[in-house]
A and B are shown apart, each in its own frame.
Chain A
Amino acid sequence: MGEIDTKINLLGIEIDNPIIPASGTFGYGYEYAELYDINMLGTFSFKGTTAEPRFGNPTPRIAECPAGMINCIGLQNPGIDKVISEELPKLKKVFHKPVMANISGFSMEEYVSNCKKIDKVDMVGWIELNVSCPNVHGGGLAFGTDPDNVRNVVKAVKKIIHKPLIVKLSPNVTDIVAIAKAAEEGGADAISLINSLMGLRIDLKTGEPILGIKTGGLSGPCVLPVALRCVYQVAHAVKIPVIGMGGVSSAEDVIEMMMAGATAVEIGAANLINPYACKEIIEDLPRIMEKYGIKSLKDIIGGRK
């Protein structure tokens, strides 16, 4: 087992393993830090952060479906200034690795100003630009579904930051490859995908949609094949690294996602069902690698070499 190597290099930073809790399922880290040592993670992507504090959407914000869930949280967060002055100092006490900053916005100016602020924070290793939130109007997804918008926002952000930029894409588009290429042209250092798929559930008693804003983002094991397909297509179309996510719930899923072309793997909904999901996957990974004769995870990115 000593020869098993789970380390990967994510845009110039070597991380112990490719396991990254996805934004929106891990808060700013400390709910989980009460349960296990989160320093065992590769890193994690913190809750999507906007310029202003946001309460988010009216409840209900959660509904179940077979092998998954839909949510319409609506980017509830304390706003970038409070994140920098309160949440991150608190996180620093329990997490000693570079963290991934998930940044949202409602306009080009907001993305740029948020990124400028977070770029100055020492413990931030990467900026993940969320141009794909399906649950807020006039922002997020409005950027992420148009190649020109994506190219422009990425270009504008890249101009003013020094840290590596990851652009998080939505699967709710006709051609995800075109969007990924636009992000690459704009200067993105990596692509992460997929954000949640837009879904709907109806309450049979009322005949009305269950969720507060009717639609929500679908996630959980039911989206894994969609995510694998998107990662596979994008990884074959761009030269920059791809971070895969969507329905990953086991060490086997992580390996499958990497074989589809992912350099690292984000894990979302699984954390909400089993708060120890990432810990268990990290502990299980060497055993599963050995089972399939994989010595180093670097050797399986984009298929077995």
Chain B
Amino acid sequence: MPKGTTMKRSIFEIEKNIPLTKDVFEMVLSGDTSGITNAGQFVNILLDGYYLRRPISVCDYDEGTLTLIYKVVGKGTKAMSEMPVGTNLDLLVGLGNGYDLSKAGDHPLLIGGGVGVPPLYNLAKKLVKEGKKVSVILGFNKKEEVFAEDIFKNLGCDVTVTTVDGSYGVKGFVTNALPESYSYFYTCGPEPMLKAVYTASTSEGEFSFERRMGCGFGACMGCSCKTITGFKRICKEGPVLKKEEILWEK
């Protein structure tokens, strides 16, 4: 069976919902996470008063809890950020393919930009557990927007933070901080960053994409993209695509 066939719909309860920066929040939910099989998958959240679900990448999970780090980008996510502890939410979990850990090699590099950082956390955790030497580059616009540096450091990863304005860490883009060698890379972030990583990277790797979605489970064809290996649905055959199959649009 292809990956992503373990989708489950269930009710989760908010355990924690706190701001990490001005517009980035951490939400911890309790419920049945058994549908999640891989780092880099996402959940699709039904919000009262909004028709379409909100797809959010999974930052971390264990048997009974799920951690999401999300950015307030519109009315729906704003409403999410105001939900009190104890609120019940209807989630589809276990969506998408996620990252392929078997490719990592001995010293994989993880590159995250903005809210592309969260899905790399569970990946880092798993790679560290496998005994890999994990390097992480986290890119932000400015110091006030930096989050998650501490949690990656606590895993024992070698963490570099970049800010575009130089107000924290290395000045510039994530590509200004690429190390000389790494066995493989995994990245998630805004598309211009992904394109820059695609060009600057010196190894094979995987990219996680974001798209406006209808259903999130492969039915509506709303998030299709063209790849070297044919048409793919970002929600089903993605959100993670391998470097060698990517066709950049435009």
Interface set of A (CB-CB < 8 Å, partner B)? 24-27, 31-32, 34-35, 47, 55-56, 58-69, 71, 73, 76, 210, 220-221, 271-276
Determine the chain B residues whose CB is within 8 A of the CB of A274 once the complex forms: 9, 46
Determine the chain A residues whose CB is within 8 A of the CB of B219 once the complex forms: 25-27, 31-32, 271-272, 275
Contact B51 A66 (CB under 8 A): yes
Contact B222 A71 (CB under 8 A): yes
Q: List 24 A-B contacts (CB under 8 A).
A: A24-B220, A25-B219, A27-B219, A31-B217, A34-B5, A56-B221, A58-B249, A59-B223, A59-B224, A60-B211, A61-B221, A61-B222, A62-B52, A62-B213, A65-B51, A69-B52, A69-B214, A71-B214, A73-B220, A73-B221, A221-B51, A272-B52, A274-B46, A275-B219
Contact of A275 among B9, B221, B223 (CB under 8 A): B9
User: Shortest Cβ distance from B118 into chain A, in angstroms?
Assistant: 22
Contact B220 A25 (CB under 8 A): yes
Question: Could you tell me how many residues of chain B have their Cβ less than 8 Å away from some Cβ of chain A?
Answer: 28
Q: Is B212 among interface residues, defined by CB-CB distance under 8 A? A: yes
User: Shortest Cβ distance from A214 into chain B, in angstroms?
Assistant: 15
Interface set of B (CB-CB < 8 Å, partner A)? 5, 7, 9, 46, 50-53, 76, 92, 211-215, 217-226, 231, 236, 249
Known A25-B220, A61-B221; judge A69-B92 contact (CB<8 A): no
Contact B214 A272 (CB under 8 A): yes
Query: What is the CA–CA distance of A65 and B76 in the complex, to the nearest angstrom?
Result: 12
Known A59-B211, A62-B212, A274-B9; judge A69-B51 contact (CB<8 A): yes
Determine the chain A residues whose CB is within 8 A of the CB of B9 once the complex forms: 274-276
Known A64-B50, A275-B92; judge A59-B212 contact (CB<8 A): yes
Determine the chain A residues whose CB is within 8 A of the CB of B50 once the complex forms: 64
Query: What is the CA–CA distance of A73 and B214 in the complex, to the nearest angstrom?
Result: 10
Query: What is the CA–CA distance of A24 and B225 in the complex, to the nearest angstrom?
Result: 17
Query: What is the CA–CA distance of A61 and B52 in the complex, to the nearest angstrom?
Result: 13
Which among B46, B218, B226, B249 has the greatest number of chain A C-beta atoms within 10 A? B218
When A and B form their complex, which 9 residue pairs have the shortest distance between CB atoms, in order from nearest? A272-B215, A62-B222, A60-B212, A62-B214, A76-B221, A64-B52, A61-B222, A31-B218, A73-B221
User: Shortest Cβ distance from B218 into chain A, in angstroms?
Assistant: 5
Query: What is the CA–CA distance of A210 and B211 in the complex, to the nearest angstrom?
Result: 12
User: Shortest Cβ distance from A44 into chain B, in angstroms?
Assistant: 11
User: Shortest Cβ distance from B6 into chain A, in angstroms?
Assistant: 9
